[in-house]
Amino acid sequence: MSTTVAQTATGLAEAWEVSRGAGAVVAIIDEDASARYHPAFAGRVIAPGVAFGDGQTRDARMRAHSIKVAGLALGDGPPVTGIAPAAHLLPVVVPELGTVVGSREEAQAFRWGANHGADVICCAWAPPRPTPESGTLPPHTRDAVAHCLTRGRDGKGCVIVFSAGNDGSDLALNGYASHPGVIAVGACNCRGKHASYSGWGDALWCVFPSNDPHDSVGASMTYLTTAPVGSLLDGEAYYTTRFGFTSAATAAVAGICALIVSANPGLTSTEVKAVLRDSCEKIDAEGRTYDERGHSPLYGYGRPDVARAVELARQR
What CATH number is associated with residue 6? 3.40.50.200
- Residue of higher predicted confidence among 260 and 93: 260
- Compute φ and ψ for 86, nearest 5 degrees: -105, 0
Q: What is the end-to-end Cα distance of the chain in Å, rounded?
A: 39
Mean pLDDT of the chain: 92
Strands 159-163 and 120-123: parallel
> Where does the pLDDT of residue 1 fall: very low under 50, low under 70, confident under 90, or very high at 90 and above?
low
- Compute φ and ψ for 306, nearest 5 degrees: -65, -40
Non-local (6+) Cβ contacts of 303 within 8 A are 10, 188, 192, 206, 207, 208, 209, 280, 281, 283
Mean pLDDT of 166-170: 97
pLDDT for position 104: 94
Our measurement of the distance from residue 36's CA atom to the centroid of its chain's CA atoms, rounded to an integer in Å, reads 21
Catalytic residues: 30, 65, 247
Strand, helix or coil for residue 311: helix
- Residue of higher predicted confidence among 204 and 96: 204
- Asked whether residue 60 carries a pLDDT value surpassing 50, the answer given is no
Mean pLDDT of 154-177: 98
pTM above 0.85, yes or no: yes
Number of domains in the chain: 1
- Asked whether residue 224 carries a pLDDT value surpassing 90, the answer given is yes
Q: pLDDT, tens digit, for every residue of 89-115?
A: 999 988 888 778 999 999 999 999 999
Domain range enclosing 294: 2-315
Non-local (6+) Cβ contacts of 181 within 8 A are 145, 146, 149, 157, 160, 269, 270
